[in-house]
Structure 1
Amino acid sequence: MLSNMAYRKKDDKREERATPLKEAFNKLLHSYEIKDKYEANKLVLSWKELMGPTIANRTEKIYLLDHTLHIKLSSPHLRQEMLMSKQRVLDIIAEKFGNDLVKDIRFY
């Protein structure tokens, strides 16, 4: 039984034109201008992983608008604590998503 390689021509250019899936996906996001929305959704979905279950369970609402992360917390004490740790939260987000995604955080 012959393998698929036996049917390829020597001048077959498929391997040269092949694009890694990650690169193709990034090109798709840029071409449809949805990269920021995709990254914002990734951030919201990974909030529990980034901040831990205690903070995530007390987060009522989270969304990104104009590079500002809006977070509604159920506890006033936690809100005050998060305000004091704002730069640390920004650093954690920047480490995973880069410095361009979130420029500021507002806690409610």
Structure 2
Amino acid sequence: MPFYLLETIHELAQDENNIILLGRKVEIDVANLGYFKADVAACIKNLWPSDFHKTIHYENTKLTFDVYKGKCLSPSGEYEEVYMKLKLGCKGEICVEIGSFHL
């Protein structure tokens, strides 16, 4: 069972400015796949409840991520299964923070 409501994640992903890539590694992974922020937002908007994989709670940082494995339309026009760790929040604002994004 996801920690965050997928409907809320979908709503926030309507505006790519609500998508935050957490850290340099995530930025590199997204770039290596040839994706732009709009592509990442599209992937998130296309997630289904059945794409949910698991919830991860990190005790040391008190962060909780929902993990999804969803099909994304790549910039090359092919569908790929992408592993995404998502959470809501961001310094008082509501946004989708991405902790992982890779094949």
Q: TM-score, normalised by structure 1?
A: 0.31
**Structure with more of its chain in strand, by fraction:** 2
Larger Rg: 1
**Greater relative contact order (Cα 8 A, min sep 6): structure 1 or 2?**
2
Q: TM-score, normalised by structure 2?
A: 0.32
